[in-house]
Structure 1
Amino acid sequence: MLNTQYQTFKTATDKRHTVFTARGNNIREVDTALRAYWTEMNGAANATREIACLNNIVIACKDWLKLKQGKSETRTTTFTRTEEVRTLFIARRTAITNLGTEALRELYTRLQALGILTADLRGRIHFDSHKLAVLGSGRHVGARAPNVKPLKPMGADYQNERISYLMSNKTQAISGSGVHGTHEFINKGLATNQDIELPRDPLRRQEALAVAAKDVHTLTMEDFQILDEIGRQNFVSGDVNYLNKSERLQYIAIVGADGTLYDCHDQKITAGAVTAYAMDNYGTLYTKDATPLGGATFFNHSSFNAGKDVISAGTLIIKDGALRVIDNNSGHYKPTRDNLHNCLQVLESEGLNLQWTTVNLYVWVAGVKQEHRYYAREFLRDPNGRPFRIT
Structure 2
Amino acid sequence: MRLILLVLMTLVVSGCSYQKLAEQPPAVSIPINHQIFDTTEVSVTSEAELFYLTPSQQSNFFAYFNKEISKGKLKHEAISDYLLKHLTNFSYYGETLAASQALGQEKGNCMSLAILTTALAKLVGVEYGYREVITLPVYKKQNNLILSSIHLQTKLFNPEPSDIVLKSVAGRSGILIDYFPNASNIKSRYLRYPQFIAMYYKNIASDALVEDQLSVAYANAMRAYHFDGGNPEVLNLMAVIHRRAGDEQTAEQIYQTARAIDEDNLSLLSNHITLLNSQQRQEEVLALRKQIDKLDDRNPYSWLEQAYVAHNQGKMRDAERYYKKTLELAPYVNQAYFGLYQVYMSKDQEHRAKATLAQALEWTHDNRERKQLKYKLYGRNIMLKANE
Q: TM-score range by the shorter chain?
A: under 0.3
Q: Counting strand residues as a fraction of each chain, which structure ranks higher?
A: 1
Instruction: Give the TM-score, by structure 1 length.
Output: 0.27
Q: Counting helix residues as a fraction of each chain, which structure ranks higher?
A: 2
Instruction: Give the TM-score, by structure 2 length.
Output: 0.27
Q: Which of these two proteins has the greater Rg computed from alpha carbons?
A: 1
Higher relative contact order (CA 8 A, sep 6+): 2
